Structure 1
């Protein structure tokens, strides 16, 4: 979103929550724009509208980013949806086609399945399915928390983080 569009967004935010002293300083405006500026204007406005219709307290940047991700279809699946992806892959590809099964899953689900082991899942006895599901759910929720931190970040911040992580790696000897 452009700076002028963000000014409209900020005005709508202040209008929706008039009792709060929102974005009242240039620093606050800069900070929010820095964290939300990568979201297209129409998506940001719609996210704000959705939030304002169901909440009486002002949103956080995180809440606006989460709603925007939902609106654009970039939402990460919840634990039940992730289990559904896994079970669909098991039924469709089965034990011998692990690579195809993993490729059919979203990133967070795939990482969780790799952690548990696709072959282990396929070979689990039916009577242990509930135990397996509970274990998967625990692993997936941890993966989801890690993924959400990255998923909500603007692309620019992801690049900054990758650069910092790369710089922090110890120098390899030659």
Structure 2
């Protein structure tokens, strides 16, 4: 259950659990600690909804109504696509706070979904490949192909 975690991150995660857990750590605790170590080491902490909204505001000013923005965060891109770029740009100034609140809720929902996909894929359960790439789990297809083959119904 831990073979997909790089050895250095796994070792650091286990050391973290040894220092912070009162009882023997579960696989889930080791996974979470290893992910935390990796995130801190690589500086890849996911952005929050406020930062994402700031990027959207900058894109409105830079790209404008007629352009097509390209966000480096796939979650931000999906939320903007869901709302519609032109609709975001055409929102009246008085309604910006409403749009921001709706964006925050949609963003947090999408982040939660990506986290669920990560958890299920780490467990070997096949999930939609589009979300695996966003979750940084490019090698999961290899890990899940065997499980997917076993789950297929005989013809």
Q: TM-score range by the shorter chain?
A: 0.5 to 0.7
Q: Can you give the 5+ residue segments of structure 2 that lack an aligned partner in the other structure?
A: 123-136
1:84 paired to 2:54: yes
Q: Can you give the 5+ residue segments of structure 1 that lack an aligned partner in the other structure?
A: 1-30, 169-174
Query: Which one has the largest radius of gyration?
Result: 1
Alpha-carbon RMSD across the aligned residues, in angstroms, is 3.2
* TM value normalised by structure 2: 0.64
| Shift in Å, 1:158 | 4.1
Alignment correspondent of 1:34: 3
| Shift in Å, 1:62 | 2.3
User: For 1:144 and 1:96, how far apart are their aligned partners in 2?
Assistant: 28
Figure out how many residues of one structure are paired with residues of the other and give that number: 129
Relative contact order higher in (CA < 8 Å, ≥ 6 apart)? 1
1:123 paired to 2:93: no
The list of structure 1 runs, each at least 4 consecutive aligned residues, that deviate by more than 2 angstroms after superposition, is 43-53, 55-60, 73-76, 148-165
Higher relative helix content: 1
The 10-residue stretch of structure 1 (131-140 or 151-160) with the greater mean CA deviation from structure 2: 151-160
Q: Could you list the per-position Cα deviations for residues 144-167 of structure 1 after superposition, in whole angstroms to 9, with x for gaps in the alignment?
A: 0122234574543344447849x9
